[in-house]
Amino acid sequence: MAIFARKIKKTQGQSPGSLVFVGSRKVETADMRVIDYAPSSVTDQALADIEDGVPFKDSDSVSWVNVNGLHNEALIGDIGKVFGIHPLVLEDILNTGQRPKLDEFDDYNFVVLKMIRFDKDEDRILTEQLSIVFAEKFLLTFQEQPGDVFEPVRERIRRDRSRLRSAGTDYLAYALMDTIVDHYISTIELIGERIEDLEEDIFAGENQAVMEKIHRYKRDILLIGRSVRPAKEAISKLARLDNGLFCDATLLFVKDLQDHVNHACDAVETYRDLLTDQLNLYNSVLANKMNDVMKILTIFAAVFIPLTFIAGIYGTNFEYLPELKFRYSYYVFWAVLLVTAGCLLYYFKRKRWF
């Protein structure tokens, strides 16, 4: 499947709001888990059925329901009915190729972001779509598969007297997005260190592996950029929300989050330009090496042209050739060749041609 786009053949001809999963199925069975917390209590449990999550919808505490696996269209539809989510939002949740964005509704907000992780075992960038729906009392997250970057957030919820325990869903939404952006920055820094180390390999000599690394990192930076730039737009829009779901205290943190995502965008642009410069540098190094080779070959050719001319004359089959009968002609011939070659090399050296 293409990295930068998802096939949409299944959705062609469907009416808007149709629940059709677009993407690769990454888990066998979808599962749900809820973390319900208040300043003095925390409940963390699996949900066997969406009906088990109904009590958490309007509870006085903050409820975070996480869904792993998007292929179960019926489950996503039931969640939409229980929590009152618009069909167009559910359609976007099921489309794993959705561009990061923010949609504002009267009683909830909908955010789509891309989680980015670097897999050291496979040495490549992994992306996963995350959809967030948050209202006044509940927050829903939809992931493609188990495993995410939110374990530090869960640890903060479990910790007594943490800011998360005493804040609402707006701060929880901020904390999740802040964690995602932090992983943007850490991943960019990791790739950036490898990009910067390429310069030594470029000057070390011609190596096809260097070219392959440059193109692979260009692909990685492009993939990260396609996630970070739209996320910047969504977070900037989030900082301007006026539907009352974000309190003024949390908006201050969101504005700080803007700075972080702007930093990530700047880093992406910097490393993209650096890779372009390194590719030009690599081609320049190859061109210089080719010029050196051509220079040496040209010098050899320039030296041997007169020698070949002299040898050609005295290698002819004429019977009466000057000096042909002279006793020391062979040695004189070699002396002429060596002196001619030496004079040419001396002349080239004086001109600093090599």
State pLDDT tens for residues 217-255. 999 999 999 999 999 999 999 888 777 788 888 888 999
**Interval 179-208: pLDDT, tens:** 999 999 999 999 999 888 888 888 776 577
Cα dihedral 183→189→193→198 (10° resolution): 90
Helix, strand or coil, per DSSP, at residue 164: helix
Pick from 100, 115, 97: which is nearest to 233 by CA? 100
- pLDDT at residue 349 in the model: 83
Rounded to a whole number of angstroms, the CA Rg of the chain reads 34
pLDDT at 8 (0 to 100): 55
pLDDT (tens, 9 = 90+) of the chain, 354 residues, equals 455 555 555 555 466 667 888 888 888 888 999 999 998 889 999 988 888 888 888 888 999 999 999 988 999 999 999 999 999 999 999 999 889 999 998 889 999 999 998 887 777 888 899 999 999 889 999 999 887 789 999 999 998 888 888 898 999 999 999 999 999 999 999 999 988 888 888 877 657 788 888 889 999 999 999 999 999 999 999 888 777 788 888 888 999 999 999 999 999 999 999 999 988 888 888 888 888 888 888 888 888 888 888 888 877 777 777 777 777 888 888 898 899 889 988 888 887 777
Cα gap 140→132, rounded to integer Å: 6
- What is the C-alpha separation between 162 and 39, in angstroms, rounded? 8
Model pLDDT, residue 9: 54
Q: List, edge to edge, every strand of the sheet that includes 62-68.
A: 41-47, 31-38, 62-68, 138-143, 124-134, 109-119, 101-104
Structural domains in the chain? 9-284 (3.30.460.20), 295-350 (1.20.58.340)
pLDDT at 19: 85
Per-residue model confidence (pLDDT) at position 12: 55
pLDDT of residue 1: 47
Report the pLDDT value the prediction gives residue 326, as an integer from 0 to 100: 78
Whole-angstrom distance, CA of residue 162 vs CA of residue 159: 6
Distance CA 170, CA 255 (A): 13
Q: What is the pLDDT of residue 205?
A: 64
pTM of the model: 0.80
- In this structure, the number of other CB atoms found within 10 A of the CB of residue 38 comes to 13
Token reading at 302: 């320039």
pLDDT recorded at residue 230: 93
- What is the DSSP secondary-structure string of 119-132? ETTTTEEEEEEEEE
Give the whole-angstrom CA distance, residue 298 versus residue 345.
12
